[in-house]
Structure 1
């Protein structure tokens, strides 16, 4: 089989045991194992961060979409999904400073995380949208922090309000309705944009245009001066490099939950 799609289709099977996962991986052949220029900025080791953010955005929008079609017993709470995302960052993000900053934002409830996310799976769709919206705010906070740190290292003045705004995504030229007159976000419009970029119906081949690719993630707060061409979904980011450790993590979580369930039955 070509690509990581077959692995996703067998997801329910591969999370049952480590042996099942290994067997599935052995039969998967990936189209490519390098990062696209849009994500790596010409430096192969830089692509992981871009791919990681893309994966998290896809996953959080996916939680909303999946819950819309599932029965109550099969829905995933936003709090549980966020905890898995947080633990993924803790265990699979090698950048120590980046990892610690994300965990600080999460553990200290930045941007109202503790109030916005819930363990209740019966919430309305509008409430489950808080997960991708929270991640979007966290992502923008990272971009702004990197911009300010770069200016500090270079002994340059701190960025102006407009410069800060330029590294926040989506940019007003890409999604003018996402921005309100006072410079704050319109969450309803931001979610629509996130869904159009990362949802099941929006994330199609060549969906991300040049501007979208450049603004997906900034490198040390500064857009790289590179020539960006359109990429298909399969060549934009090798998501399989991120997917496999994620499945291992989910597998361990499932075993832990099963063990807790058996303990309670006793």
Structure 2
């Protein structure tokens, strides 16, 4: 089945393939959010384990799917070869740092709002927090497909598809992480679902933008890959991991992290 998917994606334009791949990652977010129609609540331990899994996938994807190809496709030797990845990585981290300081949002525990002060409801701020996570994820998939469009040897449809699958897997618990707290607050099932799936709508947008940018300006690809990696790791270190340390489920979250890392690493190495 995987080979059939690759054959189909290779038969269409890579930017179109980027759109389909990121629509898939959005769909899995919506699928996770749809569990709100079956359950009103989920144990904090289960949620922390799934968030840990999310962090593990993002860390593994940052290296295996983004930083390693970025370094491989850079010319030169020694520090010259790694320089584009360093610049892109720091730029991605600073970009998310800036968004985190400016964009109003609140985390799953609802304890404290971040960013500039806003009159928006805390439900909206929670959706914005997850949306913040999804920008680098969509961008990461898009720039890989953009590399294919530009004819870069190190970029492949298979690699981009594997990254989309991995991100889609960790988007499933993200959808739950938005919808379940909203449902607990008394919001209706349908509205909780709509808010949850809406948090990932930014991924197809970021994916297409990333693919178009790289396909028109090939030299930016290693920088763009490292940019996405830096942004994703900033999210993991600044938000995902601290979120799993709020209660007494740190061991469960750690095991989830290890599981997510192994799953993403295995997908990338075995199928890529």
TM-score by length of 2: 0.30
Q: Which has the larger radius of gyration?
A: 1
Q: Which has the larger helix fraction?
A: 2
Please, what TM-score do these two structures have when normalized by structure 1? 0.30
Q: Which has the higher contact order (CA 8 A, sep 6+)?
A: 2
